[in-house]
Amino acid sequence: MSLKNSNHYDTIVLGAGGVGSAALYSLAKRGIKALAIDRFAPPHNLGSSHGLSRMIRMAYFEHPDYVPLLRESYERWEQLERDTGEKLYEETGLLEVGIPDGFVVPGVIETAREHDLEIEEYSASELKKRFPQFNYESHWIGVYEKRAGFLRVERCVETLLRQAQELGCSLATEETILEVQEKSGRWWVKTDRSTYEADKLIVTLGAWSSQLFGDKLPPLYLLKQLLFWYPTTRTAYTIEQNCPGFFFEMDEAMFYGFPQEDTMGLKVAEHSGGEIVEDPLAIDRAVDQGQKTKVEGFLKEVVPHATQDLIDYQICFYTMTSDTHFIVDRMPFKNPAAVVTGLSGHGYKFAMVLGEMLVDLVTEGKTNRPVEFLRSSRLAPRL
Ligand X SMILES: Cc1cc2nc3c(=O)[nH]c(=O)nc-3n(C[C@H](O)[C@H](O)[C@H](O)COP(=O)(O)OP(=O)(O)OC[C@H]3O[C@@H](n4cnc5c(N)ncnc54)[C@H](O)[C@@H]3O)c2cc1C
Residue 188 binding ligand X, by CB under 6 A: no
Residue 37 binding ligand X, by CB under 6 A: yes
Please choose, out of 75-83, 109-117, 247-255, 341-349, the segment that lies near ligand X by the rule CB under 6 A: 341-349
Rounded-to-integer distance, Cα 40 and Cα 28, Å: 21
Q: Determine contact, residues 41/174, Cβ cutoff 8 Å.
A: yes
Rounded-to-integer distance, Cα 257 and Cα 84, Å: 28
Answer for which of 202, 316, 352, 362 binds ligand X (CB under 6 A) is: 316
Between 211 and 308, name the residue whose CB sits nearer to ligand X: 211
CB atoms within 10 A of CB 17: 28
HEC-encoded secondary structure of 151-174: EEHHHHHHHHHHHHHHCCCEEECC
Burial class (CB in 10 A: 0-12, 13-18, 19+), 58: buried
Binding mask 249-288 for ligand X (x = CB under 6 A): --------------------x-------------------
Between 134 and 313, name the residue whose CB sits nearer to ligand X: 313
Between 3 and 282, name the residue whose CB sits nearer to ligand X: 282
Rounded-to-integer distance, Cα 12 and Cα 336, Å: 11
Residue 355 binding ligand X, by CB under 6 A: no
Q: Determine contact, residues 49/238, Cβ cutoff 8 Å.
A: no
Answer for which of 149, 206, 259, 336 binds ligand X (CB under 6 A) is: 206
Q: How far is the CB of 340 from ligand X (least distance, A)?
A: 7
Residue 205 binding ligand X, by CB under 6 A: yes
Between 222 and 302, name the residue whose CB sits nearer to ligand X: 222
CB atoms within 10 A of CB 324: 14
| Contact positions vs ligand X (CB under 6 A) | 15-20, 37-40, 42, 47-49, 51, 54-55, 176-177, 204-208, 225, 227, 269, 316-318, 343, 345-349
